[in-house]
Structure 1
């Protein structure tokens, strides 16, 4: 059972990355419309993992968010992993659940918040508790995007938060 579970998680991760690649392949050029990409990621994830019992609340930035293709790839892999975690872990076993995905621009930074109303994080949950998926998210956000990532309980919801600069500084 442990091997089967590990293989399923690996296959799910590969399928997620292939979905990201497929979405990106349909946008041409170096600049990617993040709003379109995030909408498609949310839709694919809810349809493939939700089983009909998840209500998606999508809160969009006020205007277009255009990212370089490199930034969009790293960010979409991280966000896709967090959406899958919210559905697969946070809302696991619930007949009805809420997945809220918000993005907004504040100053020179992009903020992404992924929330679910499932089981709250246990006390003491932190980076030492992260499995492979969250380690990948942390690496992508902190090293590749030069941003920050955290998990917090907020009221009756669990929030995963990414903040990263909009412009490349390399």
Structure 2
């Protein structure tokens, strides 16, 4: 996934979709909420020497929806207007498609992150985040370098936001 023979945006240029990104986000909302609660319970059960009772957190569903749908909707929209300002040709639906599919790696990682070992969770999420960042950075760079010298700061900013999302997922859902 991180080093395709041709750029994802090139492959989807004529027919970008938003069904995949929508369903990837929807899947991530429910997986991160349910498996995040399961991970919390397993961590509680592994160290259950206290008198406190474990409680599920239903609020994570709302937060997961806001995080995933918000991220996939707003970040590409801002990037689209930034690229327009820089006079770089990029389609909004293509960017939504790219950002949505860049999160697909977190679906299997959600299952693996249930393991109640915090160091292992960090390594798993950071590995997935690295794959996601490389996928996003590679494809944005291919799109932006065709017409602008500002490709590096724009791509770096997008990759740093993606890395921030990965860290947020670990800290909020799998602690």
Into which bin does the TM-score normalised by the smaller protein fall? 0.3 to 0.5
Higher strand fraction: Structure 1 or Structure 2?
Answer: 1
Higher relative contact order (CA 8 A, sep 6+): 2
Of structures 1 and 2, the larger Rg is shown by: 2
**TM-score normalised per structure 1:** 0.35
- TM-score under structure 2 normalisation? 0.34
